[in-house]
Amino acid sequence: METRNYDVIIIGAGASGLMCTAALCNIDPSMKILVLEKNNKGGRKLLATGNGRCNFTNLDISTEAYNTDDVKRLINVLHAYSSKKIIDYFETKLGVIAAFKNDLVYPITYQSKTIADALLNAGRRAHFEYDTKVTSIVKKGMGYCVNGKYEADNIVIASGGVSYPDTGSDGSLLPVIKELAGASSLEKLLPSLVPLKTSDKDVKKLAGLRQECTIRMGSYIQNGEVQFTDYGISGICVMQLSGIYNRACSSGESIRSVSIDLIPSMDKKAKEEIISNLIKSFPEAPLEDAISGLLKKPIAKAVVDRSDKTAKGIAFVAGNFTVNLAGSMGFENAQVTSGGVKLSCLNDGLELLDKKGIYIIGEAVNVDGLCGGYNLHWAWASALTAAEAIVEECEGI
Ligand SMILES: Cc1cc2nc3c(=O)[nH]c(=O)nc-3n(C[C@H](O)[C@H](O)[C@H](O)COP(=O)(O)OP(=O)(O)OC[C@H]3O[C@@H](n4cnc5c(N)ncnc54)[C@H](O)[C@@H]3O)c2cc1C
């Protein structure tokens, strides 16, 4: 079979692959770049981000928001590509103007398509082959041969994780990555930013209700809106805890439940006082009716049913509503994959330590962040890091 030669082959036209393509086109317009993508178009997951609005970075980027095996290397990348740098890059190189909602950063159009189009436009000089699933990367001479057909000295693996597989990132490149990097270079894949299931029947009965809460899982605390569903609990504050939960379960640690304060605006004493007053004011009413101006009635009923029916007991349950956990909703519903190629197995340019010319970026790397623009920030920062390293390497030859 006749092979075609390129300087760089990028596998995956998702967030990180498109940014790497755009950056390489921008830094060195003479570079021959091929992008191989199994979908029939680029940026499918990107279009779904932030409910179609794309929260593309966060003003408060720090390693605390991430899970990884190599915090030092993560600091290097995040230090080189702060949120300010990413926002500037989007404005000056891609023509995308940012808008801010507290620390969350969006394109001013509040449309993911703006970001996807800008990246595709900036990378248009590259050659894109869609409907092309990569199934092999083998060493050939100084470089690599992909699918027995395309050759390049530098390969960028930007194939994502395994969450939301319908968007394309289905793990189909994992056997190839395992072969190249070695099985020990891979951190176990787990769903993160995912709703949690419960076995509690009374919680499932609350399906459809939302409640502003403080939610505690061991020493981890989140504030926000909990959404009760027919399988368990969802909402950003729940999803923020899900990576910790799944990693703990996977390593045999026992996190069995979360504790929810259903009235976080009141301390224990205030809750007790107001519940006591309500019960006194409506002595004839069933308890859940008496407190239904304080808690939505089905939630009030669940709280009363779990309590000893005294004001003190009801207040205690309302502040410490336990939800027993029974796993998560899995990769199909996870916004991000925890695990992947260990950051410690890559150098500062995100090249595999013992495979010169193989770069790994985005969600394929063992770096996952909280909700709030952190995951796309990593996709951009890792893509720009690898693009710079590749150009330096090519210029050094
Ligand atoms: C619903 C949802 C909402 C989200 N919202 C946000 C948000 O607002 N802010 C935020 O920061 N993050 C968000 N995320 C997370 C963010 O989208 C991802 O972290 C990010 O897209 C990862 O980029 P990536 O390039 O690594 O992978 P992807 O964007 O998944 O791209 C990987 C690409 O590789 C292709 N591919 C895979 N295997 C092969 C193969 N064998 N051959 C060829 N091509 C292949 C895939 O088809 C895909 O196009 C969200 C995720 C989801 C699911």
pLDDT band at 353 (very low <50, low <70, confident <90, very high): very high
Residue with tokens 């026992």: 254
pLDDT > 90: percent of the chain: 97
**Does residue 325's CB lie within 6 angstroms of at least one atom of ligand 1?**
no
State residue 96's pLDDT score. 98
Model's pTM, two decimal places?
Answer: 0.97
Residue that has been written with the tokens 């390593």 in this structure = 251
Whether 65 and 79 share a structural domain: yes
In terms of domains, do 315 and 342 share one?
no
Question: 382 and 239 in one domain?
Answer: no
- Same domain (yes/no): 273, 303: yes
Query: Which of these three, 328, 348, 377, is where a domain ends?
Result: 328
Q: How many CB atoms lie within 10 A of CB 1?
A: 6
The pLDDT of residue 397 is: 53
The CATH code of the domain that includes 108 is 3.50.50.60
Q: For the segment 100-116, what is each residue's pLDDT rounded down to a tens digit? A: 999 999 999 999 999 99
Task: Report helix, strand or coil for 112.
Answer: helix
Structural domain including 211 reads 196-328
Provide, for the chain, the percentages of residues in helix, strand and coil under a 3-state DSSP scheme, each rounded to the nearest 5: 40, 25, 35
- For the chain, the domain total comes to 2
Which phi-psi region, left, alpha or beta, contains residue 39 (left: φ > 0; alpha: ψ -120 to 50)? beta
Residue 308 in tokens: 């000893």
- Which residue among 328, 351, 373 closes a domain? 328
- For the chain, what is the mean pLDDT? 97
Q: Is 11 a pocket residue for ligand 1 (Cβ < 6 Å)? A: yes
Return the closest-CA partner of residue 311 out of 262, 257, 337, 273. Answer: 273
Best residue among 39, 101, 173, 375 to mutate for probing ligand 1's pocket (most ligand atoms within 8 Å of CB) is 375
Q: What would the DSSP string read from start to end of 295-345? A: S-HHHHHHHHHHS-SSHHHHHHHHHSEEEEEEEE--GGG-SEEEEEE-GGG
The answer to whether residues 58 and 371 touch, using CB atoms and an 8 Å cutoff, is: no
How confident is residue 254, by pLDDT bands cut at 50, 70 and 90? Answer: confident
* Pair 366, 265 in one domain: no
What letter does residue 54 receive in the DSSP assignment? -
Shared-domain flag, residues 185 and 201: no
Distance 354 CA to ligand 1 centre (A): 26
In this structure, the answer to whether residues 124 and 90 fall within a common structural domain is yes
Mean pLDDT on 20-35: 96
Q: What is the pLDDT of residue 395?
A: 83
Give yes or no for residue 240 having a pLDDT over 60: yes
14 in contact with ligand 1, CB cutoff 6 A: yes
Least confident piece of the model among 7-16, 54-63, 197-206, 251-260: 251-260
Final residue belonging to a domain, choices 328, 353, 371 = 328
Q: Give residue-wise pLDDT tens across range 146-161.
A: 999 999 999 999 999 9
Shared domain for 220 and 369, answered yes or no, is no
Do 204 and 99 share a structural domain?
no
How close is the Cα of 56 to the center of ligand 1, in Å?
Answer: 12
Instruction: Output the furthest CA–CA distance in the chain (Å, rounded).
Output: 87
Both 265 and 341 in one domain: the answer is no
Atom number in ligand 1 closest to CA 363: 26
Q: Over the stretch 326-346, which tens digit does the pLDDT of each residue have? A: 999 999 999 999 999 999 999
Same domain flag for 274 and 385: no
- In this structure, are 183 and 289 located in the same domain? no
Per-residue pLDDT of 75-98, as tens digits, reads 999 999 999 999 999 999 999 999
pLDDT on residue 244: 96
Each residue of 258-310: pLDDT tens digit? 999 999 999 999 999 999 999 999 999 999 999 999 999 999 999 999 999 99
